[in-house]
Amino acid sequence: MATLRFQALKETLNRKPVKIDETDRRSDLFGKNVFNEAVMRQFLTKEAFNSVMEANISGLKISRVVADHISTGMKEWAITKGATHYTHWFQPLTGSTAEKHDAFFETIGDGLAIEKFGGNQLVQQEPDASSFPHGGIRNTFEARGYTAWDPTSPAFIYGTTLCIPTVYVSYTGEALDYKTPLLRALQSIDGAATAVAKYFDKNVNRVETTLGWEQEYFLIDSALFASRPDLQLSGRTLLGHSPAKGQQLDDHYFGSIPSRVLAYMRDLEIECMLLGIPVKTRHNEVAPNQFELAPIFEEANLAVDHNSLLMDVMDKVAERHNFKVLFHEKPFQGINGSGKHNNWSLSTNTGVNLLSPGSTPMKNLQFLTFFINTIKAVHDYEELLRATIASAANDHRLGANEAPPAIISAFIGSQLTAVLDELEKVTDGKLSPQEKTELKLNVVGKIPEILLDNTDRNRTSPFAFTGNKFEFRAVGSQANCANPMTVLNTIVAKQLTEFKKSVDSLVKDKKMKKDDAIFNVLREYIQDSKKIRFEGDGYGEAWQKEAAKRGLSNNKTTPQALRAQISKKTIALFEEMKVMNKREVEARHEIELEEYSMRIQIEGRILGDIARNHIIPTAIKYQNILIKNVRGLKDIFAEDFKTHSAEQLEIIKEISDHIKNINSDVTNMIDARKKANKIENAQDRADAYCDNVKPFFETIRYHCDKLELLVDDEIWPLTKYRELLFTR
Ligand code: ADP
Ligand code: MG
């Protein structure tokens, strides 16, 4: 093993940046491999083109006849771009994307062949995908799953394959993927937000969700990666002592990008341009070898597809540069983890960002309405929001070094806090003309100016308002954004629906003016949702105590956090908003619990293997060297030898102690695993893995890491943190 480590280091040190030729402008490359509007105008009949645009805007179904036209146009275009195959591209609940390629090529008898791609093949497929997770939805008698074209996300060519974004549903129409519930949630918030936006502007007839994700990741040389079985199999290091220098000096953040990495980034960005992923920002992150990539925000469904595609492209481009991308939320203990901030807002068909204040008091009241309703929604469903970001990997990050805690709170900045404090004082019932003028002039009217110098940037808040959008920061780096986006949009849709009901009833029953009614309902919301607002240090001990006092949830582990996914309140919410039915909700819950148990199980196996088959033998080898040394000293010094070998003897004993502890902990961990595996119920099994198996990871690691400090570096088998993080 140690030979592998040194070979890997040598290989890494000899690498040169890959040369990237960039002759075309990025703007010329943008969308070249996408079946976008410009291409559709060229390759589709007018009727077919209009049909796709209609489907895009109002969700109208596309007829089979028109689908035939579209597929023919798509095929012609794809062939001119060198594509030979097509695939339905979807996002099953495994967390990665799935595709099965079929050739356009088809025989027509007499030894002849043609390229064919019919409407049927475009619109629907039945992939043999029986091994994707389904949480009991696909019983054997209804085992079929279908992929169906999502015309709102354009087809694209990757490599030589035409990829058609699709949803993935069961025979009975239940969602088996991430996209289906997301599309339903987006539809739900469109309806609810449009109805409310109409209070302020009658011309609004559609509200779109916008999402701008920020993807954090680590890059490790592929040879170093291959020298660490834990990284290879679990995506994170299960062992490894902290390096003498980590990120204390903050010298990596926003520093100059290492040249091999820059070549990778440029290569990746060019690929993104061709695929129509509008990447814009790149920089070093806080930890050594950690980086970030962010695009210009887009409509949420498209943004989610683009993020899933990006993660795939990142892996593929990395191969050309001898890198491995680590998407894991916490690849290295004691070093910053990776997240994927989800910047979220709502935008009208009239081009207005509903979370951006405007130039008139009325527009600002609109802003406040959406702003306060979002906070109220987060308040009411904080525990569900926490559940959407739960995973075995993110558990290491939430509450750990420099990361959001497992408590959900909202940060809005001191200026907006002052505005809400003012609004909280408005009169119960009808407002006097003076009060209204005063409000409009001095509170609502001042919002744009306030936001101009709203420099408050609380990096410790999991859900922060950042000027014209909310930033959900607790999302993990390898997560599919669809999950948190589905929940966030659903809870805000529900909240806006309630808001409209309350305002309408005050107008109708209490004969209030519309803006009086709005002020009244907002006042109630501000009062009711106070406990979710927190402006202080989210990482501090004090907040944990304060949050407990406020009655906010603090679910530190995934099995605990996921419970909120199947509460009565959650199921009622999803059913009412028509996002998921009870069966779909329960299936997802079960899948996530299973995944949790499996991840811990895999990590436990790897750790046991490394500890017993790599670490203990190495420790014994070194101990034998010491024993030989002590024997030699005895030969030379006779009775004096104890003075001269005191340290060696001490180390020999220490090594024995660590070996003993490791060995017994591994035995006990295996026993705990066996017990957990026997448990039938998914929740109980996940609890057992969390409470009885996982704790051994820490103790085993402790002793292995101590040995790393004792044993001769020459024979240590695992590539060390210092080497993983600082060699490039
Ligand atoms: P930072 O948060 O790092 O200071 P920015 O404020 O520029 O950076 O934005 C970060 C991300 O927010 C970018 O990916 C951007 O596309 C996204 N973003 C900006 N405006 C919106 C919006 N209205 N809706 C959704 N995302 C947005
Ligand atoms: Mg950010």
Verify that 512 and 657 share a domain, yes or no: no
Residue 129 pLDDT > 70, yes or no?
Answer: no
- 318 in a structural domain: yes
**Same domain assignment for residues 486 and 574:** yes
Distance 276 CA to ligand 1 centre (A): 18
69, containing H or E segment: helix 64-80
pLDDT at 453: 67
Q: Domain of 370: which CATH number?
A: 3.30.590.10
- Given a cut of 90, whether residue 286 has pLDDT beyond it is no
Nearest ligand 1 atom, CA 347: 23
Query: How confident is the model over 656-678, as a mean pLDDT?
Result: 98
Same domain, 472 and 617: no
Domain shared by 518 and 559, yes or no: yes
14, part of any domain: no
In this prediction, residue 295 has a pLDDT band, given cuts at 50, 70 and 90, of very high
Q: Which atom of ligand 1 is nearest the CA belonging to 468? A: 23
Q: Is 585 within a domain?
A: no
Q: What is the mean pLDDT of residues 49-74?
A: 87
In a domain, 18, yes or no: no
Number of Cβ within 10 Å of residue 451's Cβ equals 19
Rounded to the nearest angstrom, the distance between the alpha carbon of 386 and the centre of ligand 2 is: 18
The strand pairing partners of 677, in sequence order, are none
- C-alpha closest to that of 321 among 223, 228, 215: 223
Domain boundary among 153, 177, 201: 177
CA distances from 462 to 176, 383, 523 (A): 28, 13, 24
Q: What is the mean pLDDT of the chain?
A: 93
| Per-residue exposure over 333-356, b if at least 16 CB sit within 10 Å of its own CB, e if not | bebbbbbbbbbbbbbbeeebbbbb
User: Is the per-residue pLDDT at 1 higher than 70?
Assistant: no
pLDDT of residue 193: 98
Question: pLDDT tens digit string along 670-684?
Answer: 999 999 999 999 999
Per-residue pLDDT band for 131 (boundaries 50, 70, 90) equals confident
Question: Which has the higher per-residue pLDDT, 455 or 75?
Answer: 75
- The pLDDT of residue 330: 95
Quick one: tokens of 26?
């990025």
**Amino acid, res. 145:** G
CA–CA distance, 483 with 677 (Å, rounded to integer):
28
Contacts of 6 (CB under 8 A, 6+ apart): none
Give buried/exposed letters for 359-370 (b at 16+ CB in 10 A, else e).
Answer: eebebbbbbbbb
* pLDDT at position 535 over 70: yes
**Which domain-ending residue is among 157, 177, 197?**
177
Residue 459 and residue 466: Cα distance in Å, rounded?
11
Residue 113: what pLDDT?
93
* Average pLDDT of the residues in 140-150: 76
Q: Quote the domain boundaries for residue 518.
A: 187-580
Expressed in angstroms and rounded, the spacing between residue 378 Cα and the centre of ligand 2 is 19
Residue recorded with tokens 């527009």: 363
By the 10 Å C-beta count (0-12 exposed, 13-18 middle, 19+ buried), 203 is classed as: exposed
What residues contact residue 234 under an 8 Å CB cut-off, 6+ apart? 328, 599, 602, 603, 606
pLDDT tens string 190-246: 999 999 999 999 999 999 999 999 999 999 999 999 999 999 999 999 999 988 777
What residues are paired with 533 via a beta bridge? Answer: 410
Looking at residue 299, its amino acid is: E
Residue to substitute in 285, 297, 488 for testing ligand 1 pocket (most ligand atoms within 8 angstroms of CB): 297
Query: Distance between CA 440 and CA 443 in Å, rounded?
Result: 6
Give domain status of residue 24, yes or no: no
Please indicate, yes or no, whether residues 394 and 271 belong to a single structural domain of this protein.
Answer: yes
Please tell me the distance from the alpha carbon of residue 117 to that of residue 106, in angstroms, as a whole number.
9
Q: Which helix (H) or strand (E) holds 371?
A: helix 361-380
Shared-domain flag, residues 565 and 614: no
> What pLDDT is attached to residue 421?
95
- Residue 722 has which token pair? 């210092």
State the average pLDDT over residues 415-430: 92
Report the separation in Å between the CA atom of 254 and the middle of ligand 1, taken as the mean of its atom positions.
18
The pLDDT-based confidence of 640 (bands split at 50, 70, 90) is confident
- Is the pLDDT assigned to residue 141 strictly greater than 70? no
Position 199 scores a pLDDT of: 97
Identify whether residues 212 and 336 lie together within a single domain.
yes
Are residues 648 and 555 part of one domain? no
Distance 214 CA to ligand 2 centre (A): 7
Residue 187: what residue type? Q
Are 305 and 165 a contacting pair, CB within 8 Å?
yes
Ligand nearest to the CA of 466: 1
Is residue 143 over pLDDT 70? no
Nearest atom, ligand 1, residue 341 CA:
11
Taking the CA of residue 343 as reference, the ligand 1 atom at the shortest distance is: 26
The CA 347 to ligand 1 mean position distance, Å, reads 14
Model pLDDT for residues 382-396, shown as the tens digit of each residue: 999 999 999 999 999
Confidence of residue 126 (pLDDT cuts 50, 70, 90): confident
In the three-class reduction of DSSP (H, G, I as helix; E, B as strand; rest coil), residue 499 is classed as: helix
CA distances from 605 to 240, 602, 670 (A): 17, 5, 8
Chain-centre distance of CA 107, in angstroms? 44
DSSP E strand stretches across 439-591: 463-465, 470-472
ipTM of the complex: 0.95
User: Which ligand has the nearest atom to the CA of 213?
Assistant: 1
Any domain includes 364: yes
Residue 491 lies in a domain: yes
Specify the ligand 1 atom closest to the Cα of 355. 23
- Give residue 451's pLDDT: 78
Is 216:338 a contact under the CB 8 Å cutoff? Answer: yes
**pLDDT value, residue 255:** 78
DSSP 547-574: HHHHT-----SHHHHGGGGGSHHHHHHH
pLDDT digits (tens, 9 = 90+) for 238-278: 999 988 777 766 677 777 889 999 999 999 999 999 999 99
Q: Are residues 397 and 498 in the same domain?
A: yes
The answer as to whether 238 is a domain residue is yes
Give the ligand whose atoms come closest to the C-alpha of residue 278. Answer: 1
Residues 476-487: what's their mean pLDDT?
97
Longest dimension (CA), the chain: 105
Q: Which residues contact 144 (CB under 8 A, 6 or more apart)?
A: 126, 138, 170, 171
3 state DSSP class of 475: coil
The Cα–Cα gap between 669 and 68 comes to 58
- The answer to whether residue 692 scores a pLDDT higher than 80 is yes
Q: How far is the CA of 492 from the centre of ligand 1 (A)?
A: 20
Looking at residue 342, its amino acid is N
* Phi-psi domain of 576 (left: phi exceeds 0; alpha: psi -120 through 50; beta: other): alpha
Same domain as 96, residue 226: no
- pTM score, two decimals? 0.96
Backbone angles phi, psi at 620, to 5 degrees: -65, -40
With a 6 A CB cut-off, is 343 part of the ligand 1 pocket? yes
Specify the CATH number for the domain of residue 166: 3.10.20.70
Boundary residue ending a domain (545, 580, 615):
580
* Number of domains comprising the chain: 3
Residue 167: in which H helix or E strand, if any? strand 161-170
Q: Are 106 and 212 in the same domain?
A: no
Tell whether 154 and 258 lie within a shared domain: no
Q: Give 213's contacts (C-beta < 8 A, 6+ positions apart).
A: 294, 295, 303, 307, 340, 341, 342, 343, 481
Which pLDDT score is estimated for 398? 85
Give the CB-side neighbour count of residue 426, counting CA atoms within 13 A: 30
pLDDT of residue 404 exceeding 70, the answer is no
| Per-residue confidence (pLDDT) for residue 135, from 0 to 100 | 79
**Which pLDDT band holds residue 514 (cuts at 50, 70, 90)?**
very high
